[in-house]
Structure 1
Amino acid sequence: MTEPSLRGSLWLHDADLRRYRPLTASTRADVLVVGAGMTGLLTAARLADNGLDVVVVDAGPVGGRNTALSTGNLYAPVSRMADLVARWGGDTATRVVQWRQQAVRSIESLVHRYDLRCGFQRVTMQYGVQERSRDATAAFERELQAYQRVGLSCDHRQSGLPFALGHAFQIPDQAQLDPAAFCQELAQHLVGRVRVHDWTQIVDIDAAAGIARTPDCSIRARHFVLATHSPAGFNLVQAEMEVYREYAVAVPVRDMPAPGVHWIADRQRSLRGVRGTDGRHWLVLVGETHRTGETPATDPAQRLIDDAQRNFRVEGEPMCWSAQQFRSADQLPYIGGSAHDNVWVATGYGPDGLTWAGVAARMIAEGIQGSSNEMDGVLSPMRFTPVRSAAGWLRTNATVARHMVGDRLAAASAGTAQTLAPGCGALLAVDGKRTAVYRDDAGTLHAMSPLCPHLKCVVQWNGHERTWDCPCHGSRFSATGQLLEGPAKQGLTPQTL
């Protein structure tokens, strides 16, 4: 098998991404939604249903960024249910699950309303562990009790995998879809009621003046919705989020696992089967999480491929990709109004993002129209939860401090630009100054400042993805310095060798 390379996801492999006209002339709207992924489009759909004039812009293709890098799983529980119950109590955890159930139903309703061809289906979610050790069994029992406490029906059985689980239970009536197809189909049905513009980057928002700017024009709006995974620029919620990379592979297999969401908790693996448009059976396997900017030496994608080969009959070459996770300090996302009463934020989804997108759409749409509900106080980006957030806040800021100070004091890598191999990058001493240097496959050297434009942390080379990653707040840049994702708003500054 050839060495894996990280590219687009299975959902983008044969997707027909429709192009929308980039915004080139100034305009006005009731609401500007920044981000045309699941959160942005679901919010726009709700606002349009209520008669508001909505503009949606995205710096890339519609549904082609973080949404298209997800698993496509929709489920009511959250990761680490026992921790959620312990932090927030059974009543709040129960309401969280109910909100997420409602979100899945609202997404299903849109699928039926517009006849969206996105492979939506109701499936069972299986939670299991492979080990029968005392620790694994105790952790399993804690999760089972938490699931039951929040009202989820748990069936004590296992099925659908070619290997045995030590313990397992199943939860009915969850869902799966093709997330890229969902966004593409929904956007097409919204055109005419919502103005959609792809490849349009917002470079600045002046909330007080009610104006957002692109490199070419401006948009005046009464409200701004930041549905960009993490708010660009400086935002207080960034100080309370841990940032991780998670990897995924899709491998063609002879026999798929049974339909459903399969979560192997003690291995930190998520599995699902997909029938491709080419008729082949694909196994999607997700895991190997690590902090952004702290890339392991061993290839995470290869470890997933090795797992697939051990447990399934693989019949072809893999597709590999990765995605970013922003995890809040208290395990619930930040959704709602921000410090500016006309700016709305949705971030900190962790690994449970697609369903949170449905929750965010409802909350933000209702908030813009002046309604309030029981979710507002719990999920507000302005909430203050020092006890529930303490551990996460300390980890986040210890990480930032370690890299902000330690990386600046660290010595540059040994070697010179002349000895850098093709396809490799490193922080090197150039004329006595630390410089991020990359040699492309053609042998050309590219040099740039190693300081992230966001808060001047030192970026780190991710050789598995050929990117420069900021370990402080998760900004990522291509090998040659172009901005891939924020919160930075521009790329690394080029330098000369």
Structure 2
Amino acid sequence: MMMENNKDSSFLRDSVSKSVWQGTANFNGVKQATGVLESGKIYDCLIVGAGITGITTALLLQRSGLSCVIAEAQEPGFGTTGGTSSHLNTFFDATYPEVESDFGEESAKLLARGGKEAFSMIEGFVRTLKIDAELEGKSAWLYAENEKESKQLQKILEASQRAGVSVEPDGENLVPVPFDSVICFKGQGQFHPLKYIHGLLEEFIKLGGVLVNHTLIRESSFEDGIYTANSDSVSIRAKKLFYATHIPPGVNLMSLRNAPYRSYVLGLKLKDENYPDGLAYDMQEPYHYFRTHTIDGQPYLIVGGEDHKTGHGDPELAFRELEEYVRQYYEVESVSYRWSAQYYIPVDGLPYIGQLPGAAEGTYIATGFNGNGMMFGTLSAKIIADLVLGNENEYTSLFSPSRMKPVAGFTEFVKENADVAWHFIADRFSAGQLPALSDLQSGEGRIVDFEGKKIAIYKDESGKVTALNPICTHAGCTVQFNTAEQSWDCPCHGGRFDVLGKVLNGPPTKDLEMVLISYDRKS
């Protein structure tokens, strides 16, 4: 594989790999303009997480006259927003036939309206705030490669049209992949996600909003109608609390109703300039997706796929297979970027947006966006803002976290959580062979038995070995090493830690414990 050196960037992500969005804009001015956190003040709403969901929600509430503070564990866009492939779709990973079957035809129509509203919100913010987000309207092609897929595609076409989505059969495919049938969705789009959220954030701060970076909320309490959220350095009080963090902290229903996945993306330069002008998706499992984005005059073919559950697959293999796949159809000059990002699949196909079940009234969540985070993150903002403000919202019931469908998604629920139980048992009680520390290569992490205990060990480029307790601080599963991202990933609920054990992704809020070991540096 030919891999270019990506330009240096001060922008951080939850991964060592850099996305194409990093290093393509200077955000230092916005980072410094964070507002001032007033000690002792009771804010109207605390938003935990500065991705597209949290920032959009905060801006809507601040515009409505409320006082809001965003607490971000790292920096804006650190999580999935900084690693998205940034497709803007009015059709979703939960297809309209599936939504019709599980929730009814009216719900499918409501979902379609939600997609259109989210897209309109993004367009409106870009226009009114004059954000240079590189927003472009595109068409999107979904294609079938065999007769079985064509039958499924026909159902998608018909149900999408019933839902009110603009889509028609097409005789040509956008990408040079052989196909059996293809349909084309109109009114789709793409943008630069980091430029977009920083434009929103700038307006939020201008309106008096407050952003506190490097503030991981470790715990929160609720008393006399007020939330108190604590980090290592500050305590924030607010009347409402919104976790815009995928899974909220702690072991709760959302941990069981969402499965963590990683998706892999390449940014490639082509030899023949055959860059597609639009969006394209196949129907394989896992599926592949294509689009083009031009940065500083250089177009990049962005191709993603090879998804697997977090902590279960081989990330390096996923990258290799994705590159092999795209080279079948495109004349690749070089791989300029390669990165992965995390998302969560809900058990019944639709996100959970609203009041967190079992929590104090006014505790809100938004999760289970599947591969449609930019759209559902935006729609979530409207739903959560209306809940905080006491306004009616037509989508509240459809996406309610309290819904319980006895049929929809039950098979997926059992499948996704069966291996969670396996890890709880097998990882705790199985024993592996102890490898010598000298066998450990630079940049490699491994779970070993050391003096009768399981230890997570990692060797850095200088040869220093770091040892950690491998038990995830969220629910007790054993983490696995992700070589591609140099992280320890939990295979149960998607918590991720860096090589020193620091939290990268929730739901855990506590770091892995450091283990003191002695080893022979000469071995």
For 1:139 and 1:266, the matched residues in 2 are separated by 12
Are the aligned partners of 1:127 and 1:265 in contact in 2 as well (CA < 8 Å)? yes
| Structure 1 residue 226 displacement after superposition | 0.8
CA deviation vs aligned residue, 1:377-410 (integer Å, no higher than 9, x gap): 2211122222214222212321211110122222
Are the aligned partners of 1:437 and 1:445 in contact in 2 as well (CA < 8 Å)? yes
Unaligned runs of 5+ in 1: none
For 1:30 and 1:76, the matched residues in 2 are separated by 32
Q: Is residue 125 from structure 1 mapped to residue 140 from structure 2 by the alignment?
A: yes
For 2:421 and 2:434, the matched residues in 1 are separated by 24
Alignment-derived partner of residue 9 in structure 1:
19
Q: Is residue 216 from structure 1 mapped to residue 216 from structure 2 by the alignment?
A: no
The counterpart of 2:117, out of the listed 102, 107, 112, is 102
CA deviation vs aligned residue, 1:45-69 (integer Å, no higher than 9, x gap): 2112211111112112212321111
2:405 maps to a residue whose letter is T
Change (3 A) 1:469 1:35: same
Alignment-derived partner of residue 303 in structure 1:
321
Are the aligned partners of 1:242 and 1:392 in contact in 2 as well (CA < 8 Å)? no
For 1:168 and 1:16, the matched residues in 2 are separated by 40
Q: Is residue 77 from structure 1 mapped to residue 87 from structure 2 by the alignment?
A: no
For 1:22 and 1:212, the matched residues in 2 are separated by 18
Q: Is residue 270 from structure 1 mapped to residue 280 from structure 2 by the alignment?
A: no
> More deviation in 153-162 or 82-91?
153-162
Are the aligned partners of 1:128 and 1:166 in contact in 2 as well (CA < 8 Å)? yes
Alignment-derived partner of residue 462 in structure 2:
442
The percentage of aligned residue pairs carrying the same residue is 28
CA deviation vs aligned residue, 1:117-164 (integer Å, no higher than 9, x gap): 0101111111112x23x3222222222222222122222213432344
> More deviation in 432-441 or 260-269?
260-269
* Secondary structure at the counterpart of residue 103 of structure 1: helix
Are the aligned partners of 2:143 and 2:179 in contact in 1 as well (CA < 8 Å)? yes
The counterpart of 2:163, out of the listed 150, 157, 180, is 150
1:17 maps to a residue whose letter is F
The counterpart of 1:170, out of the listed 157, 160, 184, is 184
| Structure 1 residue 316 displacement after superposition | 2.6
1:243 maps to a residue whose letter is P
Task: Give the TM-score, by structure 2 length.
Answer: 0.90
The counterpart of 1:180, out of the listed 194, 204, 208, is 194
| Structure 1 residue 298 displacement after superposition | 5.6
Alignment-derived partner of residue 108 in structure 2:
93
| Structure 1 residue 70 displacement after superposition | 0.7
For 2:452 and 2:380, the matched residues in 1 are separated by 49
Q: Is residue 462 from structure 1 mapped to residue 482 from structure 2 by the alignment?
A: yes
1:271 maps to a residue whose letter is F
> More deviation in 461-470 or 250-259?
250-259
For 2:251 and 2:45, the matched residues in 1 are separated by 21
The counterpart of 2:421, out of the listed 401, 404, 410, is 401
> More deviation in 283-292 or 265-274?
265-274
For 1:47 and 1:259, the matched residues in 2 are separated by 36
* Secondary structure at the counterpart of residue 156 of structure 1: strand
Q: Is residue 492 from structure 1 mapped to residue 512 from structure 2 by the alignment?
A: yes
Alignment-derived partner of residue 48 in structure 2:
34
Q: Is residue 390 from structure 1 mapped to residue 405 from structure 2 by the alignment?
A: no
| Structure 1 residue 22 displacement after superposition | 8.9
Are the aligned partners of 1:31 and 1:223 in contact in 2 as well (CA < 8 Å)? yes
For 1:465 and 1:99, the matched residues in 2 are separated by 34
Q: Would you say how many aligned residue pairs link Structure 1 and Structure 2? A: 494
* Secondary structure at the counterpart of residue 379 of structure 1: coil
Q: Is residue 114 from structure 1 mapped to residue 132 from structure 2 by the alignment?
A: no
Q: How does 1:175-324 map to 2 (within 5 A)?
A: 175-193=189-207, 194-208=209-223, 209-253=226-270, 254-266=272-284, 268-277=287-296, 279-296=297-314, 299-324=317-342
2:90 maps to a residue whose letter is A
Q: How does 1:414-453 map to 2 (within 5 A)?
A: 414-453=434-473
For 1:165 and 1:23, the matched residues in 2 are separated by 56
For 2:403 and 2:437, the matched residues in 1 are separated by 48
For 2:227 and 2:284, the matched residues in 1 are separated by 48
For 2:71 and 2:453, the matched residues in 1 are separated by 39
2:106 maps to a residue whose letter is D
For 2:186 and 2:417, the matched residues in 1 are separated by 39
Alignment-derived partner of residue 135 in structure 1:
148
* Secondary structure at the counterpart of residue 113 of structure 2: helix
Task: Give the TM-score, by structure 1 length.
Answer: 0.95
Are the aligned partners of 1:462 and 1:469 in contact in 2 as well (CA < 8 Å)? yes
The counterpart of 2:380, out of the listed 355, 360, 363, is 360
> More deviation in 266-275 or 289-298?
289-298
For 1:464 and 1:357, the matched residues in 2 are separated by 27
Are the aligned partners of 2:434 and 2:450 in contact in 1 as well (CA < 8 Å)? no
Unaligned runs of 5+ in 2: 6-15, 518-523
| Structure 1 residue 228 displacement after superposition | 1.2
* Secondary structure at the counterpart of residue 396 of structure 2: helix
Are the aligned partners of 2:2 and 2:334 in contact in 1 as well (CA < 8 Å)? no
For 1:3 and 1:281, the matched residues in 2 are separated by 16
| Structure 1 residue 23 displacement after superposition | 7.0
CA RMSD of aligned residues (A): 1.9
Are the aligned partners of 1:477 and 1:485 in contact in 2 as well (CA < 8 Å)? yes
2:265 maps to a residue whose letter is A
> More deviation in 31-40 or 205-214?
205-214
Are the aligned partners of 2:141 and 2:185 in contact in 1 as well (CA < 8 Å)? yes
Are the aligned partners of 1:256 and 1:273 in contact in 2 as well (CA < 8 Å)? no
Q: Is residue 335 from structure 1 mapped to residue 353 from structure 2 by the alignment?
A: yes
> More deviation in 98-107 or 372-381?
372-381
| Structure 1 residue 174 displacement after superposition | 1.2
Are the aligned partners of 1:251 and 1:282 in contact in 2 as well (CA < 8 Å)? yes
Are the aligned partners of 1:334 and 1:346 in contact in 2 as well (CA < 8 Å)? yes
| Structure 1 residue 3 displacement after superposition | 6.3
